[in-house]
């Protein structure tokens, strides 16, 4: 199952002080290439991971810039995430092996 995540509004103007005028102008120019396109972020969970923490900050600012943007995350049981976590570990460290039952799925 997949569900959309909704976040509180943020305003890009609050962050303008962290960019030089030239960089802020370039940001606005770059955004124009994405206007009119629908952008969808999909990840495994809305909390507790590096990707979700990044998206919580990024998405409200992208929306304030006028982008049609949505964030969806998976709503699965613990077994699903146990398998995917082990898959990631296996991908990073080839010394881990999966039980035969799971190897058939992969």
DSSP-derived pairing of the beta strands 68-74 and 2-4: antiparallel
Higher pLDDT, 64 or 98: 64
CB atoms within 10 A of CB 63: 18
Task: Measure the CA–CA gap between 20 and 63, rounded to whole angstroms.
Answer: 21
Closest CA to 82 of 62, 102, 67: 102
pLDDT at 92 over 80: no
* pLDDT at res. 98: 58
Task: Measure the CA–CA gap between 41 and 69, rounded to whole angstroms.
Answer: 8
Instruction: State both tokens at 7.
Output: 């976040």
pLDDT at 103 over 90: no
pLDDT tens column, 34-90 = 888 999 998 878 887 788 889 998 999 999 999 999 999 887 777 877 777 777 777
pLDDT at 102 over 60: no
Task: Measure the CA–CA gap between 24 and 20, rounded to whole angstroms.
Answer: 6
Closest CA to 61 of 93, 18, 4, 95: 18
* pLDDT at res. 95: 62
DSSP secondary structure letter of residue 19 = S
Angle at 25 between CA 22 and CA 28, to 5 degrees: 150
* pLDDT at res. 68: 93
Say what the pTM is: 0.66
* pLDDT at res. 38: 92
Domain ranges of the chain: 2-75, 77-106
pLDDT at 5 over 70: yes
């Amino acid at each position: 199952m997949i569900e959309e995540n909704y976040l509180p509004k943020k305003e890009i103007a609050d962050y303008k002080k962290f960019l030089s005028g030239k960089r802020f102008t370039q940001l606005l120019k770059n955004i124009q290439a994405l206007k009119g396109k629908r952008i969808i972020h999909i990840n495994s969970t809305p909390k507790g991971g590096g990707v979700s923490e990044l998206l919580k900050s990024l998405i409200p600012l992208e929306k304030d810039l006028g982008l049609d943007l949505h964030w969806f995350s998976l709503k699965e049981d613990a077994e699903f995430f146990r398998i995917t976590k082990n898959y990631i570990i296996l991908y990073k460290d080839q010394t881990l092996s999966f039980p035969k039952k799971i190897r058939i799925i992969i």
